[in-house]
Amino acid sequence: MHIVIIGNGISGVSVAKSLREYSDDEITIVSSENISFFSRPALMYVFMGKMRFKDILPFPSDYWVRNKIKQVYGAVKEIDAENQSIVLDDGGVLSYDKLVLALGSQPKSLGLGEFNLQGVQGFYSLQDLEKLQDSTNKIKHASIIGGGLIGVELAEMFVSRGISFTFWVREKWFGSNFLPQEEAEMVTNHLISKNINIKFEREIIGFEADDSNKVKSVESQSGEKVNSDLVCVCIGVEPKVDWLKSTDVQTKAGVLVNAHLQTNIPSIYAVGDCVECIDPVHGRKSIETLWYTGRLMGEYLGKNILPENSPPYEPGIYFNSAKFFDLEYQIYGDVPTSFSEPYGTVFWKHPTKDKSIRLVFDAKNDEFIGCCVLGIRFRQEVCEKWIREKRKISEVLPLLSEANFDSEFSTRYERELLDIYNNTVI
């Protein structure tokens, strides 16, 4: 049996890794980005000089040979589902018994044709990083468009290298589309404290280029024009599936898969960022562009691609984490951005420092359903256990110190949160 995986990001590699744990079948991974797997979220640290590129490769270089995982460098252009083979850009043909699509995403465009201009780019791939590094020393002023996770990472990167830039954010607060209001305000204040040039409630409506098609400035809806010879568009990502439209694999926004991560063609599967679940598990999005989702899907598929009658993919309890400059963020379970019925919440915020704890519960039956923390670390196992066991919020609060994962001797704040809860209940 030959299993071919297109894409060597976290999802593709997770498939190969967990498949290899119990099977000796032939495994080939194809990628056009880099011959070996690297940590995409760590690209920023290479730019900041915290690590070299070789430091962000999660496995030693002999790992692939040792585990008999064949690596092929090249872009796949076509899938011939009938003959079970794929065609590479250099004309090479690989035949497969099972094919896994782990294609990842690409930066979304504003729809203004901006990616045709020189000096306008996204920040997703190794090639994007290289482009950025090339232009860094030549530019006078940059623009970052989009107040999302990648935008804020770029801001941190630019600050560390002393690049002057303007950070354009459409919302009133940074992160208000994925954080509750109080947290969004805290993160926003943290960004402001970093002295970065951040403009809220601005949408970019146009670009100006010079004669050689090089970007000169950006223009917002409020009429400002800011000269920028580098523009990074980070308004989100979308599955990288354009080239699949000409194949028999069914796609909408992403590759459509059933509960077993199988596409409309039975021998072809898909995992990670490029997936669009036809029928997502309750409460989950049909497209989840997360490292963790990619890994979980990959591990699931590696285990279940060969056996008959495998169980459906079960994403488990949601979790995620991020870092906004120095401010760490973790989330477990279900935390909405606003708290109307049926959500109830207890929130504590440090009076001076950037630290907060939020627990979320179901107001009808007091069951604990999620939590998020800023500047504090929580233990995943404990939070998940409480959520899975549907513990009552009144039961969870006194035990909260079990969930704390801060380093030893850290000041603890569980008491404050409990007091807030007791005061609001009485």
Partner 1 sequence: MTSILKWSQSLFNFEVKNEGVWFKSLSNRGVIGWILALFLTFGYITLYFFPAWLGLGAKGMPNTGFIAWFDPISLFFNGSAASQWFVYGFLYTLIILIMGVKFLIKYKNNNYQIIRTISLMFFQLCFAFIIPEIMASLNQPAMDLKNMWPLNYYFFFDWNIKKLLSSGYFGLFLMVWGIALTFIISPVLTYFYGKRWYCSWVCGCGGLAETAGDPFRHLSDNSETAWKWERRIIYPVLFLVCLMTLTILDSFFRKNPETYWITFSHFKVIILLLLAGIIALGIWQKGWLKGVSKWSKIGFISLGIILFVAIAFSWSYQKPVLLINALKLREWYGFYVGAIFSGIIGVGFYPLMGSRVWCRFGCPMAAILGIQQRFFSRFRITVNGGQCISCGNCSTYCEMGIDVRAYAQKGENIVRASCVGCGICAEVCPRGVLKLENGPLSLEDGKIRF
Ligand X SMILES: Cc1cc2nc3c(=O)[nH]c(=O)nc-3n(C[C@H](O)[C@H](O)[C@H](O)COP(=O)(O)OP(=O)(O)OC[C@H]3O[C@@H](n4cnc5c(N)ncnc54)[C@H](O)[C@@H]3O)c2cc1C
Name the segment binding ligand X (CB under 6 A); options: 56-64, 98-106, 180-188, 339-347: 98-106
- Work out whether 115 is an interface residue with ligand X (CB under 6 A): no
Residue with tokens 């030549």: 138
Which of 25, 328, 334, 366 lies at the binding interface for partner 1 (CB under 8 A)?
Answer: 328
User: b/e string for 94-110 if b means 16 or more Cβ within 10 A?
Assistant: bebebbbbbbbbbbeeb
Phi, psi of 319 (to 5 degrees): -150, 155
From the list partner 1, ligand X, none, which binds 9 (C-beta under 5 to 8 Å, kind-based)?
A: ligand X
- Work out whether 51 is an interface residue with partner 1 (CB under 8 A): yes
**End-to-end CA gap in the chain:** 65
Binding mask of the shown chain, residues 366 to 395, with x at each position contacting partner 1 by CB under 8 A: -----------xxxxxx-xx----------
- Strand blocks (E) in 74-125: 76-80, 85-88, 93-95, 98-101, 105-107, 120-121
* Distances, alpha carbon 230 to alpha carbons 127, 130, 165, in Å: 16, 14, 9
Residues whose CB is less than 8 angstroms from the CB of residue 351 and which lie 6 or more positions away in sequence, other chains included: none
Nearest to 288 by CA among 327, 247, 316: 316
Binding mask of the shown chain, residues 54 to 83, with x at each position contacting ligand X by CB under 6 A: ---------------------xx-------
- Work out whether 32 is an interface residue with partner 1 (CB under 8 A): no
Which of 209, 405, 416, 420 lies at the binding interface for partner 1 (CB under 8 A)?
Answer: 405
Q: What are the DSSP calls for 279-297, one per residue?
A: SPPTT--S----HHHHHHH
Residue 329's Cβ-count burial label (10 Å; 0-12, 13-18, 19+) is buried
- Work out whether 153 is an interface residue with ligand X (CB under 6 A): yes
Cα separation, 207 vs 219, whole angstroms: 6
- Work out whether 43 is an interface residue with ligand X (CB under 6 A): yes
Which of 1, 21, 22, 55 lies at the binding interface for partner 1 (CB under 8 A)?
Answer: 55
Site residue total, ligand X (CB under 6 A): 36
Question: In this complex, which beta carbon is closest to ligand X, that of residue 128 or of residue 416?
Answer: 128
Binding mask of the shown chain, residues 125 to 164, with x at each position contacting partner 1 by CB under 8 A: -----------------------------------xxx--
Contact 342, 169 (CB under 8 A): no
**Nearest distance in Å: CB 257, ligand X:** 13
- Work out whether 336 is an interface residue with partner 1 (CB under 8 A): no
Residue 78's Cβ-count burial label (10 Å; 0-12, 13-18, 19+) is middle
Residues whose CB is less than 8 angstroms from the CB of residue 202 and which lie 6 or more positions away in sequence, other chains included: 168, 169, 170, 220, 221, 222, 224
Q: What are the DSSP calls for 127-146, one per residue?
A: HHHHHHHHHHTT-S-EEEE-
- Work out whether 289 is an interface residue with ligand X (CB under 6 A): yes
- Work out whether 150 is an interface residue with ligand X (CB under 6 A): yes
From the list partner 1, ligand X, none, which binds 102 (C-beta under 5 to 8 Å, kind-based)?
A: ligand X
Which of 98, 190, 202, 240 lies at the binding interface for ligand X (CB under 6 A)?
Answer: 240
- Work out whether 281 is an interface residue with partner 1 (CB under 8 A): no
Q: What are the DSSP calls for 306-348, one per residue?
A: SSSSPPPP---S-EEEEEETTEEEEEEE---SS--TTEEEEEE
From the list ligand X, partner 1, none, which binds 423 (C-beta under 5 to 8 Å, kind-based)?
A: none
Question: In this complex, which beta carbon is closest to ligand X, that of residue 9 or of residue 370?
Answer: 9
Which of 137, 195, 340, 407 lies at the binding interface for partner 1 (CB under 8 A)?
Answer: 407
- Work out whether 409 is an interface residue with partner 1 (CB under 8 A): yes
Name the segment binding partner 1 (CB under 8 A); options: 52-60, 119-127, 169-177, 278-286: 52-60
**Nearest distance in Å: CB 39, ligand X:** 8
- Work out whether 103 is an interface residue with ligand X (CB under 6 A): yes
- Work out whether 412 is an interface residue with partner 1 (CB under 8 A): no
C-alpha torsion angle, residues 403, 405, 411, 412 (rounded to 10): 0
Q: What are the DSSP calls for 47-81, one per residue?
A: HTTSS-GGGG-SS-TTHHHHTTEEEEES-EEEEET
Question: In this complex, which beta carbon is closest to ligand X, that of residue 151 or of residue 217?
Answer: 151
Residue with tokens 């593709």: 12
The site for partner 1 (CB under 8 A) is made up of 10, 39, 41-42, 45, 48-52, 55-58, 60, 160-162, 291-292, 295-296, 319, 321, 323, 326, 328, 330, 377-382, 384-385, 402, 405-411
Residues at the site binding ligand X, with contacts judged by CB under 6 A: 6-12, 30-33, 40-41, 43-44, 75-76, 102-105, 123-124, 150, 153, 240, 243, 272-273, 289-292, 294, 320, 322
